[in-house]
Amino acid sequence: MMKIRFAFPLAAALVIAPVGSLAAQARDTTLAGFPALASEFVFTSLAFSPASATQAGLHDWTDPFTGRRAHLDSLLDNFSPDAIAKQRAYFMRVQSRLGAIDRAHLDAQTQADYDVVANAAAFALFGLTKERFHQFKPQMYAEDLGNSLFANISLEYADKNTRAADLTARVARVPGFLAIARRNLRATNEIYTRVSLEETDGVSSLVKSMGADFTRGTPSQARYARVAPPAIAALAEYQRFIKDTLSRRGTVDWRSGVGLFNAKWKYSLAVSLTPSEELRIAEDSMRNTRAEMLSLARPLHDKWFPTHRHTGDSTAVLNAIVSETLARIGAEHANRDSLLQQAKSDVAALTRVVRDQRTVSLDSFPNLQVIPTPEFMRGVYGVAGAVFAPPLNPHLATFYWVTPIPAAWTAERADSKLREYNTYKMLDLTMHEGIPGHVVQGAYANLLTPDWRRLLRSVYSNTPYVEGWAVYGEHVMMYDAHVDGGDPVKMKLTDLKGMLRIYTNVIIDIRLHTRNMPGDSAVAFMMRDAFQERPEAEAKLQRAQLDYVQLNAYFAGVEEWTRLRQDVQKRDGKDFNLCRYHDTVLLYGALPVPAIRRLYMAGIAPTAKGLASRCERPSAANGR
Ligand SMILES: [Zn+2]
């Protein structure tokens, strides 16, 4: 799914209140004042990053401190030292205002919100003062710029003329934005350099062609034609700077090291297990899963390839048997023109399962549209993805995009993609992105009340909650519901191959960043133990080298969800009602799962608008 990225730059200047008025602020933030603080925090921190604000649906903003109005869609993120200092001051002030609130006197739900704000402020300060990507990652500026400009083109937040004018205003700011980048950056490395040069090329071609196409025929066309060439020249200059100047300024290790890794782990995942514990569990799961795959694959293999004799060490035998079996399963696929059709019929079938088996109460998703991925997004979404309505406009459509196979592809190339995204894999993907995964979770998150709480928990949603829920949906919930595409063994093997990828991500991320695993060992490991082809493994290595901790969210999340359900089931015994459990945890919104556990175990009711429960009515299939 698409998630808002926070780069924490300052857009509209904030005037920091003098010390004298700080005390007044603190007095203001009594228990009753917390909701006001929380929503001020959401809007102010969003406004720090116009790129994120456009995505979240915040377009115009009046600074609560200065009364100054800003049209965020026409601004770029501001990484100037002055802007960063103002941001730091704001987040520190939020910390002191939180410090003045007696958390123990808040109700349990508000305590969870308090923790979200506290964590977000601490994470922002970590980014600005410890991690400091703005000083060490040249690619960050290219990505931030690309996202900003692309948002004007791709998000239909206003009519085309307005968005063309916004885009033109942003393009006019590109030279200034890159001048700040050149001043901020202190070091790079080979990988950052390579990726930032590529990504800057991408931004350049966006300005040159996509932006020109988008503004053509609008009142901004002439102005765009004037501002684009200086922007393109500044991008070329930025590339020369990265190659010639920055590489001489200094080198930065792409490995984060234990200190940064553990700190980011705490802020960005907020799960109960440590990296070492997750690593151990992932390595055990990996071994067990491979053994399970062998025992599932062997009978199929022996039936399909009766003449095969596999010899060698046990790893080679296992790999041969399992990969031949997976390849044969891959032969069952939609044809090149019917991927979208399969996704639509899978959505319909999964909606029926959710309804008939009463896994959750919500069983219709009128805002969901299953459509082909828009053409200009197909580079980002190679296969499929769920794209939500912006948190500030929750009534807009949620899309499940499915990327068609280009007509220009040869039969061979099309076939290779179709074998990978075969019938079972596509069903699995629709469970994850759609039902009961992201689409269901997103629909529940929209029901939260009051509105400040809904906004806080969706703008600052916890990734392990969100991604872990989707993996729990495919790996546990739909498995229990016997959704198997007509063949439980083929479905299970497909699911387990996906789980291997999730374990692998954890293992390489932790080992690369904190235990000096060599890059080529990571590639060899992915190819040998997780049935990955070299290009896929190399792409994953690069992704791990560009950022740390992120790759853990899926596993850390599904681990939390699985344990929570087991513990609740154990506690409640025969009173356990799966549907009621799912409704409750979804209606809490995307808090860190340990917070969900605290609320659930204490019997705290979610605060949400009406959802008719279907959990109590008898159901033929409710046999567990
Ligand atoms: Zn996902």
Q: How far is the CA of 155 from the centre of ligand 1 (A)?
A: 21
CA count, 13 A, side-chain hemisphere, 377 = 23
Q: How far is the CA of 429 from the centre of ligand 1 (A)?
A: 9
Domain ranges of the chain: 19-131, 138-249, 287-330, 339-554
**At 78, is the secondary structure helix, strand, or coil?**
coil
For the chain, percent of residues with pLDDT exceeding 90: 83
Which tokens belong to 128? Answer: 């600005």
DSSP helix, strand, coil percent of the chain (3-state; round to 5): 65, 5, 30
* pLDDT score of 7: 32
- 3-state SS record for 546-589: HCCCHHHHHHHHHHHHHHHHHHHHHHHHHHCCHHHHHHHHHHCC
CA distance 2 to 19: 40
In Å, how far are 82, 188, 240, 529 from 25, measured between CA atoms?
Answer: 23, 42, 48, 56
Which of the pair, 214 or 25, is modelled with greater confidence?
214
* pLDDT score of 189: 96
Does residue 285 have a pLDDT over 60?
Answer: yes
CA distance 41 to 333: 48
Residues 78-99 have a mean pLDDT of 96
In Å, how far are 115, 209, 252, 545 from 215, measured between CA atoms?
Answer: 44, 10, 40, 37
Does residue 36 have a pLDDT over 50?
Answer: yes
**Mean pLDDT for the chain?**
91
Q: How far is the CA of 343 from the centre of ligand 1 (A)?
A: 16
pLDDT tens digits, 386-440: 988 899 988 888 999 999 999 999 999 999 999 999 999 999 999 999 999 999 9
CA count, 13 A, side-chain hemisphere, 400 = 30
Which tokens belong to 615? Answer: 């959990």
Q: How far is the CA of 2 from the centre of ligand 1 (A)?
A: 9
Residues 461-465 have a mean pLDDT of 97
Q: How far is the CA of 396 from the centre of ligand 1 (A)?
A: 20
Name the phi and psi angles at 71, rounded to 5: -95, 95
pLDDT tens digits, 167-202: 999 999 999 999 999 999 999 999 999 999 999 999
Contact 564, 593 (CB under 8 A): yes
Contact 297, 329 (CB under 8 A): no
* pLDDT score of 30: 57
Confidence of residue 18 (pLDDT cuts 50, 70, 90): very low
* pLDDT score of 618: 57
Q: How far is the CA of 441 from the centre of ligand 1 (A)?
A: 11
pLDDT tens digits, 354-392: 999 999 999 889 889 999 998 877 877 888 889 888 999
| Contacts of the segment 510-514: beta carbons below 8 A, 24+ positions apart | 510/261, 510/275, 510/278, 510/279, 510/552, 511/279, 512/255, 512/541, 512/544, 512/545, 513/255, 513/256, 513/257, 513/261, 513/544, 513/548, 514/255, 514/256, 514/257, 514/258, 514/261, 514/275
Q: How far is the CA of 1 from the centre of ligand 1 (A)?
A: 5
Tokens 């109700």 correspond to 107
Q: How far is the CA of 433 from the centre of ligand 1 (A)?
A: 6
Angle CA(23)–CA(26)–CA(28) in degrees, nearest 5? 115
**Its pTM surpasses 0.75:** yes
Q: How far is the CA of 430 from the centre of ligand 1 (A)?
A: 10
Q: What is the DSSP letter of 391?
A: T
**At 320, is the secondary structure helix, strand, or coil?**
helix
pLDDT tens digits, 290-309: 999 999 999 999 999 999 98
pLDDT tens digits, 89-138: 999 999 999 999 999 999 999 999 999 999 999 999 999 999 999 999 99
Name the phi and psi angles at 426, rounded to 5: -65, -40
Does residue 583 have a pLDDT over 80?
Answer: yes
Name the phi and psi angles at 385, rounded to 5: -175, 155
pLDDT tens digits, 58-72: 999 998 778 889 999
Q: How far is the CA of 170 from the centre of ligand 1 (A)?
A: 31
* pLDDT score of 9: 30
CA 172 and chain centroid, separation:
30
Confidence of residue 505 (pLDDT cuts 50, 70, 90): very high
Q: Strands, E, within 111-153: which ranges?
A: none
Which of the pair, 2 or 365, is modelled with greater confidence?
365
CA distance 168 to 221: 9
Q: How far is the CA of 362 from the centre of ligand 1 (A)?
A: 20
- Residues with CB in 5 Å of ion ligand 1: 1, 467, 470
* pLDDT score of 381: 83
Name the phi and psi angles at 526, rounded to 5: -65, -35
Residue 579, judged by CB atoms within 10 A of its CB (0-12, 13-18, 19+), counts as: buried
